Amino acid sequence: MNNRKHLRGFTLLELLLSVAVIGLLAASSIPVYQSFQIRNDLDITAENTAQSLRRAQLLSQAADGDTSWGVKIQSASLVLFKGASYAVRDTTFDEEFAIPTSITPSGVSEVVFTKFTGLPQVSGTINFNSNINETRTVTLNSKGMVSY
């Protein structure tokens, strides 16, 4: 009987309660993590778009490859391309960035910058909407200034 008093440990009930509490904490944090991930994807997509527009403008001003450069925004990707338009581009120079499936782009879908001046042929906004009703907007004005 003396030996039993010195034994220490956890009961099955204590272990089950601990596992249940950890499970509840994990289950409640998953939606928070998912919305954080979607907001992060939105920010990264907007930043990649702005950087691609700026890069296309600089390559056009430098007349790299003696032609214009542009950016095409599609539902699943963003493509920096070399050429007068996406349809007649030189595909060997394409730089593609994935857009997560939780994000839907709208607005201007193709921007081409003129050689030497770097002025965009179109101006406007590119909107990125998420499935949690968050939006990021990238704006391109007629002088080629990109803001987001």
Convert the pLDDT of each residue in 94-132 to its tens digit.
999 999 999 999 999 999 999 999 999 999 999 999 999
Q: What are phi and psi of 23, to 5 degrees?
A: -65, -40
Query: Whole-model pTM?
Result: 0.82
Is CATH 3.55.40.10 the classification given to domain 11-147?
yes
Q: Following DSSP, what letter does each residue of 93-113 receive, concatenated?
A: EEEEEE--TTEEEEE--EEEE
Residue 2 pLDDT > 60: no
- Answer for the pair 119, 144: CB distance below 8 angstroms, yes or no: yes
Dihedral of the alpha carbons of 83, 89, 94, 97, in degrees to the nearest 10:
100
- 14-70 tens-digit pLDDT: 999 999 999 999 999 898 899 999 999 999 999 999 999 999 999 999 988 899 999
DSSP character at residue 81 = E
For the chain, what are the domain ranges? Answer: 11-147
